[in-house]
Amino acid sequence: MIAIPYLTALTTYFSYGSLFVFDQVRDFFRKIIDWWSASNMQGYAPICLGLEDFYIRRLYLRIQDVLIGLLQVLLMLGLMWLNTTPMTTTKHSRCLNLGSYNYLGFAASDEYCTPHAIETLKKYSPSTCSSRVNGGTMDLHNELEECVANFVGKLAAIVFGMGYVTNSVILPILMGKGGLIVSDSLNHNSIVNGARGSGTRVCVFQHNSGLPKGAHQVFCEQDRP
């Protein structure tokens, strides 16, 4: 373990404390101004609440901006010291992109997917551009839901054309008080927020723990100290 110098720790805590106090004062006056001008959106709940919202707005985003700016300055100084400029090379490396939303490969030419995608676009519209409540249910929806249900071995499945919003909004509709959600510890934040918003009992198990054999590793959010 690396020992942190006393002066470094002291100045860091002092900076955090100063930001916390200063921004609490700013938020206090901001609430007064919003109340006086009635410019805030009435009836809309904030995405984050309490200290989480305060930390993201007043601390995390500021620190992130400072670090990004510092990295940019260091990069420019390094380029100036080397007396060079960024340039492309003739060397090519084959890489796997793990940060793309191109899950099905439709964004690139593929000998299998591309012809089927083009055929489907000719038969159906590119998108219903709305929820199924407004845009209607097509036979593709029913076919996909039946395929998913068969794949996971369940009687039925529901398919939505959305990601984050689906998990965070639909889970509270499907689940409620008296229910139980067993969630992977590495589940996406959308699932975590949806499970918490449902008001039901949430039990989290450690990722790759081998449940249900490792059921002793399960703990519930309501049971946290």
Count CA atoms closer than 13 A to 110's CA, side-chain side.
13
- Does the pLDDT value for residue 223 go beyond 60? no
What are the tens digits of pLDDT across the range 163-181? 788 888 888 888 888 888 8
- Cβ of 217: how many Cβ atoms within 10 Å? 13
- Does the pLDDT value for residue 132 go beyond 60? yes
Between 219 and 123, whose confidence is greater?
123
Q: How confident is the model at residue 216 (pLDDT cuts 50, 70, 90)?
A: very low
Percent residues over pLDDT 70 in the chain: 81
What are the tens digits of pLDDT across the range 101-119? 776 666 777 778 788 888 8
Q: How confident is the model at residue 57 (pLDDT cuts 50, 70, 90)?
A: confident
Give the global pTM: 0.44
Q: Are 188 and 166 in contact (CB under 8 A)?
A: no
Q: How far apart are CA 53 and CA 66, in angstroms?
A: 19
What are the tens digits of pLDDT across the range 24-49? 898 888 888 777 665 555 555 566 67
What are the tens digits of pLDDT across the range 73-90? 888 887 777 776 667 778
Per-residue pLDDT at 27: 85
Peptide bond into 212 cis (omega under 30): yes
Q: How far is CA 73 from the centre of its chain?
A: 29
Structure tokens at 145: 């839901």
Q: Which of 209, 179, 214 is nearest to 194 (CA)?
A: 179
Per-residue pLDDT at 151: 94
Q: How confident is the model at residue 215 (pLDDT cuts 50, 70, 90)?
A: very low
Between 34 and 3, whose confidence is greater?
3
Q: Are 191 and 171 in contact (CB under 8 A)?
A: yes
